């Protein structure tokens, strides 16, 4: 062995079996994703999946909202990926697993504000009709 680097470089490409494929070397997802979504829309893919699941036993994963009081990190992605994989596995196992992620991360603080309004007016929240309370929260 020599301590000096060699001036010749080895072309390893010719030493590795690389199968021929139609897949591009780069995914180009910003261009391809809208095309895939349009194709699925034209095929009625969502409607077909919902029709195939009709009448099957339900699988419901209660997914709460993400925490809105901190920076995004890899844990947020991992959490959503796990839930997506679980739901897809349940769907493939023959269950109706319609995954609807939760995003109501501001509901409770809004309710507190409405309750503060009630307290200022000397009203008890439990005496206000539920539909009226919900309407005020939406406003």
3-class SS at 58? strand
Count: domains in the chain:
2
On whether both 79 and 119 belong to a single domain, the answer is: no
On whether both 42 and 84 belong to a single domain, the answer is: yes
The answer to whether residue 78 sits within a structural domain is yes
Q: What is the value of pTM for the model shown? A: 0.54
The answer to whether residue 118 sits within a structural domain is yes
On whether both 86 and 113 belong to a single domain, the answer is: no
Per-residue pLDDT of the chain (139 residues; tens, 9 = 90+): 555 556 677 888 788 888 888 888 788 889 999 999 999 999 999 999 999 999 999 999 988 776 666 788 898 889 889 999 999 999 999 999 988 877 666 677 888 888 999 999 988 888 889 899 888 888 8
What percent helix, strand, coil does the chain show, rounded to 5? 55, 0, 45
The answer to whether residue 73 sits within a structural domain is yes
The answer to whether residue 16 sits within a structural domain is no
The answer to whether residue 80 sits within a structural domain is yes
On whether both 88 and 112 belong to a single domain, the answer is: no
On whether both 37 and 85 belong to a single domain, the answer is: yes
**In the beta sheet, which residues pair with residue 96?**
58
Tokens 């009203």, residue? 123
Say how many C-beta atoms besides its own lie within 10 A of residue 134's C-beta. Answer: 13
On whether both 83 and 124 belong to a single domain, the answer is: no
- Structural domain including 123 reads 107-138
On whether both 88 and 115 belong to a single domain, the answer is: no
CA nearest neighbour of 107 among 79, 137, 82, 63: 137
On whether both 71 and 37 belong to a single domain, the answer is: yes
95 in Cβ contact with 56 (< 8 Å): yes
The answer to whether residue 82 sits within a structural domain is yes
């Amino acid at each position: 062995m020599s301590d000096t680097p060699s001036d010749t470089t080895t072309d390893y490409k010719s030493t590795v079996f690389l199968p021929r494929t139609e897949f591009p070397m780069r995914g180009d997802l910003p261009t391809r994703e809208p095309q895939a979504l349009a194709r699925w829309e034209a095929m009625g893919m969502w409607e077909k999946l919902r029709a195939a699941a009709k009448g099957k036993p339900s699988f419901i994963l209660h997914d709460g909202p993400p925490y809105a009081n901190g920076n995004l990190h890899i844990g947020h992605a991992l959490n959503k990926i796990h839930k997506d994989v679980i739901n897809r596995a349940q769907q493939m196992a023959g269950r109706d697993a319609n995954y609807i992620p939760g995003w109501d991360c501001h509901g409770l603080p809004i309710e507190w504000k409405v309750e503060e309004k009630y307290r200022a007016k000397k009203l008890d929240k439990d005496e206000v009709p539920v539909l009226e309370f919900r309407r005020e929260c939406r406003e």
